């Protein structure tokens, strides 16, 4: 998806791959897997205070963004059949998608600015090139991540909402209404997946079940690329050095070791960077290697992944401290630190001296 409002930066390094991931206090869901008591560092409390914020403020933002995501999800669901009808009559569906993208983002901006008028806003549909993410609190919005999937009726797309502070995500919400998957996180308070079941009748209550991420409390070993299921997207840049690098790494990852390849378990292309980050956070994917996407594609998922014990390096070799605005990302699920680092360095080894350039 193309940019909309602004971009931000965040970093992770081998020394900071892990943090304690705690239970959030929201009563949004009806069932929660066991989790420990929230723990916030004094440094983070001071960081919040510099911007006149508290942990309660982050909880309130979290709850607001969930409400907004649910409203955006309803808009996406209401478009499903209209979408299919348009496609069946061979009408151009891109205008329809653009209409919903803009409609949802306008709603997100209106509601966030009404509640927090002094916070910044960075959205994909309203982004102006050259805009940079600031240290001040900023909402980051991708109204529909996975627009191509949405336009074709493929149910792997989501609304992605985040709050950044000092160019780092501190709240992340990703919601796929077609699957009823709501991913949420607050910095230092853990990451969660809430499964939302739609009522089968007008008299039935909506059902919710909440799980702490990753779904496996003790993540399975990840000794090498050979054991990994990896996500890799294709983007819209289909020629030039970046395309050659992407396809070359893809081929090496899939090729048998006897032929000089890494022979990973397989590659998945799901069509949504936000959801790829969430699938890595829950442990369904082992890693996601990507160049060319934007801050709004990854910001919320980044927060969710780190709170689930995962790490984010850069897609390019040697980049242990990627910025949100850097456009290259390497998300790795929770595992022993040496295993996370090993997987990153193995892919960097495949790349050699080559790098994505954006």
Residues of the binding site: 124, 142, 144-145, 297
Does a cis peptide bond (omega within 30 degrees of 0) precede residue 214? Answer: yes
User: How many helices, marked H, and strands, marked E, lie in the chain?
Assistant: 8, 12
Given a contact cutoff of 8 angstroms between Cβ atoms, the answer to whether 325 and 295 are in contact is: yes
Cα-only R_g, the chain: 20
Helix (H) or strand (E) holding 250: helix 241-254
How much helix, strand and coil, in percent to the nearest 5, is found in the chain? 35, 20, 45
CA distance 19 to 187: 10
Burial 280-307 (b: 16+ CB within 10 A, else e): bbbbebbbbbbbbbbbbbbbbbbbbbbb
Rounded distance between C-alpha atoms, residue 70 and residue 96, angstroms = 20
Q: Which residues are annotated as a binding site for Mg(2+)?
A: 124, 142, 144-145, 297
Which burial class, exposed, middle or buried, applies to 178 when counting CB atoms under 10 A from its CB (0-12, 13-18, 19+)? middle
Whose CA is closest to 28, among 54, 67, 55?
Answer: 67
């Amino acid at each position: 998806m193309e940019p909309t409002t602004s971009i931000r930066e965040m970093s992770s390094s081998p020394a900071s791959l892990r943090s304690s991931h705690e239970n959030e206090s929201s009563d949004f869901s009806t069932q929660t897997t066991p989790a420990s008591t929230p723990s916030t560092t004094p440094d983070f409390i001071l960081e919040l205070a510099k911007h006149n914020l508290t942990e309660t403020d982050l909880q309130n933002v979290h709850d607001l963004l969930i409400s907004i995501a649910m409203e955006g999800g309803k808009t996406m669901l209401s478009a499903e059949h209209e979408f299919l009808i348009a496609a069946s009559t061979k009408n151009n569906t891109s205008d329809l998608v653009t209409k919903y993208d803009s409609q949802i983002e306008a709603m997100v901006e209106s509601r966030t600015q009404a509640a927090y008028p002094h916070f910044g806003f960075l959205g994909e549909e309203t982004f102006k090139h050259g805009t940079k993410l600031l240290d001040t609190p900023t909402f980051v919005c991708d109204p529909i991540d996975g627009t191509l999937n949405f336009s074709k009726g493929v149910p792997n797309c989501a609304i992605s909402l985040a709050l950044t502070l000092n160019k780092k995500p501190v709240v992340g919400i990703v919601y796929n209404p077609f699957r009823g998957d709501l991913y949420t996180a607050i910095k230092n308070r853990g990451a969660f997946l809430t499964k939302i079941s739609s009522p089968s009748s007008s008299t039935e209550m909506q059902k919710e079940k909440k799980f702490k991420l990753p779904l496996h409390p003790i993540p399975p070993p990840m000794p090498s690329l050979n054991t990994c299921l990896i996500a890799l997207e294709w983007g819209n840049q289909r020629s030039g050095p970046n395309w050659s690098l992407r396809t070359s790494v893809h081929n090496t990852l899939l090729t048998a070791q006897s032929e000089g390849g890494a022979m990973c378990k397989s590659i998945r292309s799901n069509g949504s960077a936000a959801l790829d980050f969430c699938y890595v956070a829950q442990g369904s994917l082992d890693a996601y290697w990507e160049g060319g996407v934007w801050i709004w594609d990854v910001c919320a998922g980044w927060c969710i992944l780190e709170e689930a014990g995962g790490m984010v390096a850069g897609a390019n070799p040697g980049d242990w401290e990627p910025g949100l605005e850097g456009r290259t990302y390497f998300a790795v699920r929770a595992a022993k630190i040496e295993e996370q680092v090993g997987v990153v360095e193995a892919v960097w080894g495949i790349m050699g001296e080559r790098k994505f350039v954006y």
